[in-house]
Amino acid sequence: MPELPEVETIKNELSPYVVGRQFTGVTVYDAKLVRQPPVEEFRRKLEGQRITSLDRRGKYLIFHLSGGEALIIHLRMSGVLLLHPEQPEKYTRVVFQLDNGSQLVFTDRRRLGAIWLVENEQAIVGKLGPEPLAPEFTSETLAERLQKHRAPIKAVLLDQAFIAGIGNMYADEALFAAKIHPLREANTLAPREIQNLHHAIRDVLWSAISSKGASVDTYKRPDGELGTAQFNFRVAHLAGKPCPTCGATIQRLAIRNRGSYFCLNCQS
């Protein structure tokens, strides 16, 4: 699933090409992905609107439009946004035509993505937790929020209402960097551990953004190129491999039905 670094990369790379452009048409091949309004109303309302800015909130892309509405896209497990692909894409679900002749193509192999056109973006993203890269997200903020949770720290980090944008692989990487076992109860972390985790979260996310995200499954950048953050992973998706720190075998454990990767020796 595209997580914060992947969605941030898409935002950064799309913005120069779509901000200021106008939608001239929309072709919807799979109505399931358009959550609101109904497809015909979605098409009618979107055509003619100009993109005034492109933002990210958690794992959501938000296209602010000249009419005051917001086009919101969540890629979910396998969604990809491609700008003017050279070859037809097998899993194309929606095609947005722009006034300069380019196309923004939304492909989704598993058909789990979602698109909204709404007047109030908070109706979709309002329940998200704080942005982990925002200046106001301090270690003190993290400590205060953790005190309210007894669940495993890995599960808490994946809760989008607790913190926005972190998914499975970056939670694993951050916990490894902070030397915290993924099953530790969130409210048992010591102040120093919370400081380490706060630093690790931000460091891991910024590093992944600098590598244009991680292409471990279906993720592609808007130009069709892959991200390279996966080559820097130390534990995520590396079960059975030696720990880069101590050489012990990296373990895999299911936590709340999500695969978690960690080193039992380093994260005791």
Report the chain's mean pLDDT, rounded to a whole number.
96
Rounded Cα–Cα distance for residues 108 and 95 (Å): 12
The pLDDT of residue 84: 85
Joined together, the tokens standing for residue 104 give: 């923004």
The pLDDT of residue 90: 86
Catalytic, out of 2, 85, 132, 182: 2
Query: Does this chain's domain 4-125 share its CATH topology with 139-262?
Result: no
Q: What share of the chain is helix, strand, coil (3-state, %, to 5)?
A: 30, 25, 45
149, 187 in Cβ contact below 8 A? yes
Question: Amino acid identity of 240?
Answer: G
Catalytic, out of 45, 109, 184, 258: 258
17: pLDDT strictly greater than 90: yes
Tell me, yes or no, if 135 is annotated catalytic: no
The pLDDT of residue 222: 96
Q: What are the sequence ranges of the domains in the chain?
A: 4-125, 139-262
The pLDDT of residue 250: 98
Joined together, the tokens standing for residue 167 give: 């998914």
Pairwise pLDDT comparison (238 vs 86), residue with the higher score: 238
Catalytic, out of 43, 59, 154, 212: 59
89: pLDDT strictly greater than 90: no
Interior/surface letters 83-113, b for 16+ CB within 10 angstroms, e for the rest: bebeeebebbbbbbbbeeeeebbbbbbeeeb
> For the structural domain made of 139-262, what CATH number should be given?
1.10.8.50
**What integer is the mean pLDDT of 59-81?**
97
Tell me, yes or no, if 3 is annotated catalytic: yes
| pLDDT level of residue 147 (50, 70, 90 thresholds) | very high
Tell me, yes or no, if 212 is annotated catalytic: no
Percent over 90 (pLDDT), the chain: 94
85: pLDDT strictly greater than 80: no
Tell me, yes or no, if 192 is annotated catalytic: no
For residue range 178-206, what is the model confidence (pLDDT) as tens digits? 999 999 999 999 999 999 999 999 999 99
Rg (CA), the chain: 19
- CATH architecture of the domain 4-125 equals Alpha-Beta Barrel (3.20)
